[in-house]
Amino acid sequence: MADSRTKAGFFNLLFIICVSTAFLGFRSCAEPTSDKQALVDFISRFRYSRSRIKWDLSTPACSWTGVVCDSSQTYVYELRLPGVGLVGQIPPETIGRLSHLRVLSLRSNRLSGPLPPDFGNLTSLRSLYLQGNIISGSFPESLARLPGLSRIDVSSNRFEGEIPASISNLILRTLFLQNNRFSGAIPAIVNTSYLVGFNVSNNNLTGEIPETLSKFPESSFAGNLQLCGKPLPSCADRSPSPSPSPVPSTSGGKRSRKITTGAIVGIVVGIAVALLLLLLLLLCFYKRSRRGTEPSQPPKPATTARASAAEAAESSSKEEVLGQDSKHKLVFFEVDKYGFELEDLLKASAEVLGKGSTGSSYMAELDDGTTVAVKRMKEVVVGKKEFEAQMALLGQIRHENLVKLIAYYYSKDEKLLISDYIPTGSLSSLLHGSRGSGRPPLDWITRFRIGLTAAKGLLHLHMAANTPHGNMKSSNILVTKSLKACISDYGVHSLLGPSALPNRGTGYGAPEVQHQAKLVSFKSDVYSFGVVLLELLTGKAPNQVASLGEDGIDLPRWVQSLMAEAFDAEVFDAEVVGSGVEEEMVAVLQVAMKCVDLVPERRPEMWEVVRMLEMVESGEFQSPLNQEGNGSDGRY
Q: Kindly report, residue by residue over 85-130, the tens digit of the pLDDT.
A: 888 899 999 999 998 999 999 988 889 999 998 998 999 999 999 9
More confident residue, 58 or 242: 58
Which pLDDT score is estimated for 485?
Answer: 93
Which pLDDT score is estimated for 307?
Answer: 34
Which pLDDT score is estimated for 609?
Answer: 94
Which pLDDT score is estimated for 592?
Answer: 95
DSSP output for 156-203: SSEEEEEPPGGGGGS--SEEE--SSEEEEPPP--S--SS--EEE--SS
Between the CA atoms of 237, 457, 505 and 322, what dihedral angle is there, to the nearest 10 degrees?
A: 30
Which pLDDT score is estimated for 425?
Answer: 85
Which pLDDT score is estimated for 250?
Answer: 39
More confident residue, 515 or 424: 424
Residue 8 has pLDDT above 90, yes or no: no
Lowest mean pLDDT among 93-107, 275-289, 341-355, 576-590: 275-289
Give whole-number Cα distances, 604 to 134, 472, 600, 625, in Å. Answer: 12, 16, 9, 12
Residue 242 has pLDDT above 50, yes or no: no
Residue 534 has pLDDT above 70, yes or no: yes
More confident residue, 388 or 135: 135
Which pLDDT score is estimated for 633?
Answer: 37
Give the C-alpha separation, 567 to 184, whole Å.
53
Which pLDDT score is estimated for 627?
Answer: 41
Average pLDDT over residues 6-23: 46
Which pLDDT score is estimated for 305?
Answer: 31
Residue 612 has pLDDT above 80, yes or no: yes
Average pLDDT over residues 471-482: 91
Name the pairing type of β-strands 181-184 and 204-208: parallel
The mean predicted confidence, pLDDT, of the chain is 77
Residue 41 has pLDDT above 80, yes or no: yes
- 243-247, 450-454, 615-619: which is most confident: 450-454
Residue 326 has pLDDT above 50, yes or no: no
Task: For the chain, give the percent of residues with pLDDT over 70.
Answer: 71
More confident residue, 315 or 193: 193
Phi/psi of residue 5, nearest 5 degrees: -65, -40
Give the C-alpha separation, 364 to 351, whole Å.
7
**Residues with Cβ < 8 Å from 164, sequence gap 6 or more?**
139, 140, 141, 144, 145, 187
Give the C-alpha separation, 535 to 541, whole Å.
6
- Strands, sheet with 87-89, edge to edge from the N-terminal-most edge strand: 87-89, 110-113, 134-137, 158-162, 181-184, 204-208, 226-228
Which pLDDT score is estimated for 449?
Answer: 92
Residue 333 has pLDDT above 70, yes or no: yes
Average pLDDT over residues 329-341: 79
Which pLDDT score is estimated for 390?
Answer: 86
Which pLDDT score is estimated for 395?
Answer: 86
Residue 56's Cβ-count burial label (10 Å; 0-12, 13-18, 19+) is exposed
Q: What confidence category does residue 570 fall into, taking pLDDT thresholds of 50, 70 and 90?
A: confident
Which pLDDT score is estimated for 434?
Answer: 62
Residue 580 has pLDDT above 80, yes or no: no
Give the C-alpha separation, 279 to 268, whole Å.
17
The DSSP element (H or E) to which 18 belongs, if any, is helix 2-28
Residue 441 has pLDDT above 60, yes or no: yes
Write out pLDDT tens, residues 156-170: 999 999 999 888 888
Q: What confidence category does residue 30 fall into, taking pLDDT thresholds of 50, 70 and 90?
A: low
Q: What is the pTM of this model?
A: 0.52
Q: What confidence category does residue 218 fall into, taking pLDDT thresholds of 50, 70 and 90?
A: confident
Question: End-to-end distance of the chain based on CA atoms, in angstroms?
Answer: 67
Which pLDDT score is estimated for 351?
Answer: 83
Domains and CATH numbers, the chain: 33-236 (3.80.10.10), 331-618 (1.10.510.10)
Which DSSP symbol is given to 422?
-
